[in-house]
Amino acid sequence: MTLQLDRRLLLQAGAFGLAALSTPGVAQILTARGFTHGVASGEPAANSVLLWTRYVGSGDTRLRCEVSADESFRKVAGGGEVIASPAHDSCAKLVVSGLTPGKWYYYRFIAPDGTKSEVGRTRTLPVGEVDRFGIGLFSCSNMPFGWFNAYAHAAARDDLDLIVHVGDYYYEYEYGHYPDNPMAGRPIEPRNETVSLADYRLRFASYRLDPDLRRVHQRFPMIAQWDDHEFANDTWKGGAENHQPEKEGEWSVRRAAAEKAYREWMPVSDALYNSFQIGSLATLFRPETRVTGRMEQLDFGAVMAGAAKGGQAEIARALAQFRDGPWMSSDRTLMGTQQENWLYKGLADSAKSGTRWQILAQQIVMGSLKAPPQMADLVPSGGDPKVRQALMAIAAASQVGLPFNMDSWDGYPAARERLLRAAREGDCNLVVLAGDSHNAWGSELSVDGTAAGVEYAGHSVTSPGYEAYLPSVPPADLAKALRGANPGLAYADTSRRGYVSLQMTPEQVRGEWHFVGTIAQRTTAGTTSEGLSVKWNERRFATA
């Protein structure tokens, strides 16, 4: 859609506090009028769905929404009115009720002058017996790394009913940092790191100009949850690795700004966590594992550094004490007691009601991942010494039974055990969905030696995986070494980008990792797929 420019709005630009208001990207976003960023829908229920658009007027603007069973809108099935207000960055959200379960609908917004938004497509969740349901799983979309071909591939499919995005929808870094050499044609705004409300809003506006991201929103309803980069890297409830209070102010202020922008720009309600019923087939739980109750991440690297003067024996002793003490502490939590109790009860109630599958769509990898003993040896003798040193530290931690990613469920083993035990005791058929790591993992989850479920951890849309840090190591060799060190790891790919899709039936869930051929060009050519299935009541991946 062509953006209409109104240069008078540039007079308001001072409110943004940005250093680069003269750049074309900022000017395009700040001066756009009318419907500027397409449409989106989310959080469907059996009889309702949340609809989103953005309309920039001279002030508060009343929009009319129409919902129809056909794209021509010959018969309007529902709708309503909503205000697009500058107080919410001109974003407007409306929950339309009274719809028929399990049905595709088309929707559009109409401005007071009669102009119309793009037409979106959405659907309600089914009730009763459900034979099949398709889900697309996405995470980790860093625009300067490349093109969003994963979104484009999914948007062209007809066998998906719902999109689930488990976070890192965008990244907060300044332009020119991660990646250091941004790809041509993939600019972001603002150029500085996002810290203020205006920054976060502008970053959203920048990303949502991407045609493939807009298209996937236009074609499917989405259930979304933030992860850390919608705030700052490695966020926890009291701060983040990438937040410096002395330069960037109070964490609570930054967190509130990021959360406000997210709720304005995403088709989500104000609920921190929620569940969605897909007839008798599945209950999909969307918890919040990042900012609500997460305790600060532990750092075994600091433990090793503190013991380094004592040599390898002292390092091993310090790591063992860390393992048996802080790491295994029963009070460490990702969600907090209230949310844990909500989830455990919901899982048990879902299984007790006869629902076939319990889907846990959350942000971070749940399967345990330890480094192979030969990790450092994977780097050639002429390789980066810093990488080799880091890998040696990871391998040393692995030798005492410690995982390598303390920001995942591996950093909170007691909380993971509580969850898996609750799922097993509730007789659940648990399927965990995850993102965050940029790599593809298929894990069999167990507790007390008993199978508790499986995990499909998705690779990223564009953010780099281990291939960026170990470019000389053949990906197949690394995957083989990782599987050998982790008995529950059934599948691993550490080198390709894409997304995951699930096809669910009452008897099985089939999950596939889709790998795009490239992110250096805008194309879906060369996309390939690999998958695993889990049969109902088996809680482990089926053998070929």
Contact 125, 101 (CB under 8 A): yes
Q: List Cβ neighbours of 133 (8 Å cut-off, separation of 6 or more).
A: 126, 161, 162, 278, 281, 282, 503, 504
230-242 mean pLDDT: 98
Mean pLDDT check: name the lowest of 16-30, 85-99, 363-377: 16-30
pLDDT at 38: 97
388-400 mean pLDDT: 84
Mind listing the pLDDT tens digit for each residue in 504-533? 999 999 999 999 999 999 999 999 999 999
Report residue 8's pLDDT band, with 50, 70 and 90 as the boundaries: very low
Q: Tell me how far apart the alpha carbons of residues 203 and 97 are, in angstroms, rounded to a whole number.
A: 31
Amino acid identity of residue 134, one-letter, is G
Task: Give 331 or 20, the one with higher predicted confidence.
Answer: 331
Q: Tell me how far apart the alpha carbons of residues 471 and 473 are, in angstroms, rounded to a whole number.
A: 6
The token pair at 318 is 């310090």
Most distant pair of Cα atoms in the chain: their distance? 78
pLDDT at 463: 98
Report residue 23's pLDDT band, with 50, 70 and 90 as the boundaries: low
pLDDT at 44: 98
Count the alpha carbons within 13 Å of 338 in the hemisphere toward its beta carbon: 6
pLDDT at 449: 94
Mind listing the pLDDT tens digit for each residue in 413-431? 999 999 999 999 999 999 9
pLDDT at 380: 67
The four Cα atoms 209, 212, 214, 219 give a dihedral, to 10 degrees, of 170
Q: Is residue 13 pLDDT above 70, yes or no?
A: no
459-487 mean pLDDT: 92
Q: List Cβ neighbours of 459 (8 Å cut-off, separation of 6 or more).
A: 140, 437, 438, 439, 440, 465, 493, 496, 497, 498, 499, 500, 513, 515
The token pair at 82 is 């909503």
pLDDT at 252: 98
Mind listing the pLDDT tens digit for each residue in 269-300? 999 999 999 999 999 999 999 999 999 999 99
Contact 396, 307 (CB under 8 A): no
Task: Give 307 or 147, the one with higher predicted confidence.
Answer: 147
* Residue for token pair 């991660």: 178
Q: Is residue 6 pLDDT above 50, yes or no?
A: no
Mind listing the pLDDT tens digit for each residue in 147-201? 999 999 999 999 999 999 999 999 999 999 999 999 999 999 999 999 999 999 9
pLDDT at 12: 38
Report residue 7's pLDDT band, with 50, 70 and 90 as the boundaries: very low
Q: List Cβ neighbours of 397 (8 Å cut-off, separation of 6 or more).
A: 300, 304, 319, 371, 403, 404
pLDDT at 311: 86
pLDDT at 470: 85
Contact 331, 449 (CB under 8 A): no
Determine what percent of the chain is predicted with pLDDT higher than 90. Answer: 85
Contact 68, 105 (CB under 8 A): yes
210-238 mean pLDDT: 98
Q: Is residue 14 pLDDT above 70, yes or no?
A: no
pLDDT at 544: 59
Report residue 472's pLDDT band, with 50, 70 and 90 as the boundaries: confident
Write out the H or E segment, with its range, that includes residue 337.
helix 337-352
Q: Tell me how far apart the alpha carbons of residues 500 and 509 are, in angstroms, rounded to a whole number.
A: 12
Amino acid identity of residue 294, one-letter, is R
373-399 mean pLDDT: 77
> In 3D, which of 128, 65, 81 has the Cα closest to residue 102?
128
> In 3D, which of 530, 510, 534 has the Cα closest to residue 452?
534
Task: Give 397 or 116, the one with higher predicted confidence.
Answer: 116
pLDDT at 327: 98
pLDDT at 1: 35
pLDDT at 5: 30
Contact 128, 100 (CB under 8 A): no
Q: Is residue 10 pLDDT above 80, yes or no?
A: no
pLDDT at 15: 37
Contact 383, 390 (CB under 8 A): no
pLDDT at 383: 67
Report the chain's mean pLDDT, rounded to a whole number.
93
Write out the H or E segment, with its range, that includes residue 390.
helix 385-399
pLDDT at 312: 87
Task: Give this prediction's pTM.
Answer: 0.94
First and final C-alpha spacing in the chain: 47
Q: List Cβ neighbours of 180 (8 Å cut-off, separation of 6 or more).
A: none
